[in-house]
Amino acid sequence: MNANEPLAERLRPKTLEDYVSQTHLIGEHGSLTQHIKHGLIPSMIFWGPPGTGKTTLANIIATESKRPFYTLSAINSGVKDIRDVIEKAKQSGGLFTTKNPILFIDEIHRFSKSQQDSLLQAVEKGWITLIGATTENPSFEVISALLSRCQVYILNAFDKQDLETLLKRAITTDEGLSKKNIVLKETNALLKISGGDARKLLNIFELIVNAFDSDDIEITDEIVLKKVQNNTVRYDKTGEQHYDIISAFIKSIRGSDPNAAVYWLARMIEGGEDVKFIARRLLIAASEDIGNANPTALVIANNTFQAVSTIGYPESRIILSQCATYLACSPKSNASYMAIGNAQKLVRETGDLSVPLEIRNAPTKLMQELGFGDNYKYAHNYSNNFANQEFLPEDIKNTTLYQPGNNTRENAHREFLKQRWKDKYDY
Q: Output 109 or 232, whichever has higher pLDDT.
A: 109
CB 275 within 8 A of CB 323: no
Q: Who wins on pLDDT, 210 or 361?
A: 210
30 pLDDT tier (thresholds 50, 70, 90): confident
| Cβ contacts of 414 within 8 Å, gap of 6 or more | 404, 427
Q: According to the model, what pLDDT value does residue 95 have? A: 45
Mean pLDDT of 140-167: 91
Burial 373-391 (b: 16+ CB within 10 A, else e): eeeeeeeeeeeeeeeeeee
pLDDT class for 418, splitting at 50, 70, 90?
confident
What domains sit in the chain, N to C, each tagged with a CATH number?
22-154 (3.40.50.300), 160-236 (1.10.8.60), 242-328 (1.20.272.10), 356-421 (1.10.3710)
Distances (CA, A) of 303 to 299, 314, 319: 6, 17, 10
CA distances from 294 to 51, 104, 209, 290, 412 (A): 38, 44, 52, 6, 12
d(CA 78, CA 76): 7
The pLDDT tens digits of the residues spanning 226-238 come to 877 644 433 343 4
Range of weakest confidence among 124-128, 209-213, 267-271: 267-271
Rounded to an integer, what distance in angstroms lies between the CA atom of residue 344 and that of residue 321?
A: 34
